[in-house]
Structure 1
C-alpha cells in the first residue's frame, strides 16, 4: 500500500507499510520520468531490459501500453 505525499521533477515520495501487522511507515523515494522524454515525439519506442525487448506505445486515447 502506498500513497503519494509530494511530487518533485525527478522524485516522488511514497509511504510504504513495512508489513501488514506493522503500524510503522517508511518513506521511499522513487525516480520519476516524463513519458515525453522516453517517446521523444514518437508514438512508440522499444525498451531493452536484460535479454528482453519491450514496446511502449502511446495510443490515440492518450494511454500508454507496455508489451513484451
Structure 2
C-alpha cells in the first residue's frame, strides 16, 4: 500500500486560494513497477511512466 500522506516540503499554496495543493512523486507512487492502477468512482485508470520519463494516464 502506498502512503499518500502529502510531503510538507512539496505542499504548495496557490496565490489567492485557501485550498492547499498536494503534490506526490510519481516514482514513489509506482515504486519498482512503472505502472500503477488508480481508482476513481469505480473506474480504474492506469498511470504509467514511459522510458523517456513522461506520464501517461489511460482509462
Which entry has the higher C-alpha Rg, 1 or 2? 1
Question: Which runs of structure 1 show a deviation greater than 4 angstroms over 4 or more consecutive aligned residues?
Answer: none
TM-score by length of 1: 0.64
Report the counterpart of residue 13 of structure 2 in structure 1: 13
TM-score for the superposition, normalised by structure 2:
0.72
User: How far off is 1:9 after superposition?
Assistant: 2.1
Check conservation: 1:9, 1:32, Cα contact below 8 A. Answer: no
Bigger proportion of residues as strand = 1
Deviation string 1:9-60 (CA, Å, 9 cap, x unpaired) is: 2411222xxxxxxxxxx23420111112210121101111111000000001
What RMSD in Å do the two structures reach over aligned CA positions? 1.5
